[in-house]
Amino acid sequence: MDFLTQLDISTALRSIFLYNPGAPLIFTRFFFWGFFAVVLLGYSLVYKNKNRSIRAGYLFALSVFFYYKSSGFFFFLMLFSIVLDYFIGKGIYNSQNSTKRKFLLALSVFLNLLVLAYFKYSYFFVDSLNFLFDTDFKVVNHLAKAANDTIGTHFDIDRILLPVGISFYTFQTISYSVDVYRGDTQPVKNLIDYGFFVSFFPQLVAGPIMRASGFIKQIYDDFSVSKAEFGWAIFMILKGLIKKIFIGDYIAVNFVDRVFSNPVSYTGFENLMALFGYSLQVYVDFSGYTDIAIGVALLMGFRLPQNFNSPYKAKNVSDFWKRWHMSLSSWLKDYLYITIGGNRNGSVFSYVSLLIIMAIVVLLAGKMILVPVFAAFIIAFAILMRYFPGFKRNVDTNINLMLTMLLGGLWHGASLNFIIWGGLNGIGLVVYKFWRKISPWEAYNNWLVTIWKIAVTFTFITFTRVFFRSESITIAKDMLKQIGTAFKLSVIPDVLIAYKWVFAVMAFGFVIHWLSYGFKKKIEDWFIATPIWAKAVIAAAVVIVVYQSISSDMQAFIYFQF
């Protein structure tokens, strides 16, 4: 074997087994499907083994490799979380001492959130200290420094990178400890099974967030995938690829990203269409990932929970949040909203948390003038709550809802934009609670009223997303200003012609989304009923068309950054 051949083999092996930051392992890369083929090949040898831990161990090992290829050496961080919460959960279950159980639960929540905060909010904390005390502290990656000092690595200690999917698996490990504490689930039998539960690669980096009570039982069940389920799994994978690449990536690269990068260079109409385009993009991107994850998991005999239910068919904001990112919405409801009092009453925690969020807003905005503004707001509310019992009752029953949405915004990142986005959705939910009591149309569901409700809800949700998508408040303000002041009707025909294919793909995406459930079910059932050769032909045709639509390098899934 000559030197060049050896070099080629070495390069190929390195590309297969070593992490490449420029080409992470994502569902839309051909490398993933090669990886998945290898997974299925090995899985065919172990999936029927009576010792379920062998099956779990096999998938755990490959899931760790998947995470390494997606996020590099951060897989050690995930392993730390796995070991930590496995033994804490075991301690909670085995202990009969109420105080010890509460301490272990608090320890699990504290340590998990501490790790999450370190990677996700370090820059915010350091910037806040510098703002408050006129200091000049710099962010230092202490974990990278420790690795460099102890084992001679050469990690960059001046930056803290966010591990892919850390928010998702952190919530998953916390829910396990809480469920074991509450008695909602039995703990897993061993560390391997728990590692598999946390790291299962289809849903690892962007959800859906799995509940221990809904997944652990599946670890010990016999493998079972019916012919109909097999067809449905393939259908979900193909649907996800169409959503993500053919619709989401195409409109993002060719229109949406361009406008959001410099909104003042575009007319109000273009900004408006980019805003509605992003609303479509974020849905097809995230739900497309979920569709593929559900399909891939089902081919291995595991059922993941539904994460989206045609959210843009929602008739009000409350209905929207029951349909959008359902695993996170239900997680926040069960582990945060209800825990802090739900709609029963505001707790000390509720009011203290709201004060903390106000302080965070001041720090993120960098404007101390907000302090007296918030102080006046608090005093006014305190007076009204003191002398008007009805007002106090309304605040008490809605503060936890508002707080949950604000914290949901912060979950996405320490940014004023995300807090505004969460706050606007919280206000939307609170306003709807009062509106539905007096609305003359609430009881009407004829087609005209339904279209009106859906249009109003979709438009509201879309406009809140200007803060979710924009990289700064300035860009969000520029976009809204362009829509409000530079909406030139005369240029609309030219814009429609210039971006005809983008708008055609957008129209295709919205039409598909708003088709009736019955019609879409017929298409699904038809595909499932086709013979295997027909499925193969359809799959090949979809793959060819989808990958021919790519106009730039593969785009990472939007929720990887959270």
Q: Which one is predicted more confidently, 1 or 111? A: 111
Burial string for 138-151 (b: 16+ CB within 10 Å, else e) reads: eeebebbeebeeee
Q: How far is CA 377 from CA 120, 345, 355, 424, 504, in A?
A: 30, 20, 11, 17, 47
Q: How confident is the model at residue 275 (pLDDT cuts 50, 70, 90)?
A: very high
pLDDT of residue 562: 61
Rounded to the nearest angstrom, the gap between the alpha carbon of residue 410 and the centroid of all alpha carbons in its chain is 13
Residue 404 has, within 13 A of its CA and on its CB side, a CA count of 26
Q: Is 370 left (phi over 0), alpha (psi -120 to 50) or beta?
A: alpha
Number of domains in the chain: 3
* Mean local confidence (pLDDT), 27-56: 90
* Residue 471 within any structural domain of the chain: no
302 and 169 within one domain: no
Give the range of the structural domain holding residue 69, as residue numbers without chain letter: 25-122+164-223
Q: How confident is the model at residue 349 (pLDDT cuts 50, 70, 90)?
A: confident
pLDDT of residue 554: 62
Domain boundary among 190, 205, 223: 223
289 and 175 within one domain: no
380 and 272 within one domain: no
Q: How far is CA 224 from CA 218, 306, 475, in A?
A: 10, 19, 50
* Mean local confidence (pLDDT), 310-332: 92
* Residue 464 within any structural domain of the chain: no
* Identity of the amino acid at 518: G
* Residue 469 within any structural domain of the chain: no
Report, as residue numbers or ranges, the catalytic residues.
412
Per DSSP, the three-state class of 213 is: helix
Domain boundary among 195, 223, 251: 223
Number of neighbouring beta carbons within 10 Å of residue 491: 16
Mean pLDDT estimate for the chain: 88
238 and 218 within one domain: no
Condensed to tens digits (0 to 9), the pLDDT of residues 166-219 reads 888 999 999 999 999 998 888 898 999 999 999 999 998 777 888 888 888 899
pLDDT of residue 290: 94
pLDDT of residue 51: 87
Kindly state the tokens that stand for 199.
């790291």
399 and 373 within one domain: yes
326 and 242 within one domain: no
Condensed to tens digits (0 to 9), the pLDDT of residues 436-445 reads 888 887 777 8
* Residue 418 within any structural domain of the chain: yes
Q: Which one is predicted more confidently, 513 or 553? A: 513
* Mean local confidence (pLDDT), 346-354: 82
Condensed to tens digits (0 to 9), the pLDDT of residues 367-422 reads 888 889 999 998 998 898 888 888 888 888 888 889 999 988 888 888 889 999 99
pLDDT of residue 105: 93
For residue 4, is pLDDT > 60? no
213 and 106 within one domain: yes
* Residue 51 within any structural domain of the chain: yes
* Residue 148 within any structural domain of the chain: no
The pLDDT > 70 percentage for the chain reads 96
Q: How confident is the model at residue 164 (pLDDT cuts 50, 70, 90)?
A: confident
For residue 53, is pLDDT > 80? yes
522 and 512 within one domain: yes
pLDDT of residue 276: 97
* Residue 16 within any structural domain of the chain: no
397 and 340 within one domain: yes
168 and 85 within one domain: yes
Q: How confident is the model at residue 8 (pLDDT cuts 50, 70, 90)?
A: low
232 and 100 within one domain: no
The pLDDT > 90 percentage for the chain reads 52
* Mean local confidence (pLDDT), 258-285: 94
For residue 248, is pLDDT > 60? yes
275 and 322 within one domain: no
- Tell me which of 145-154, 179-188, 353-362 is least confident: 145-154
pLDDT of residue 558: 67
* Residue 205 within any structural domain of the chain: yes
* Mean local confidence (pLDDT), 30-34: 90
Domain boundary among 373, 405, 439: 439
pLDDT of residue 7: 55
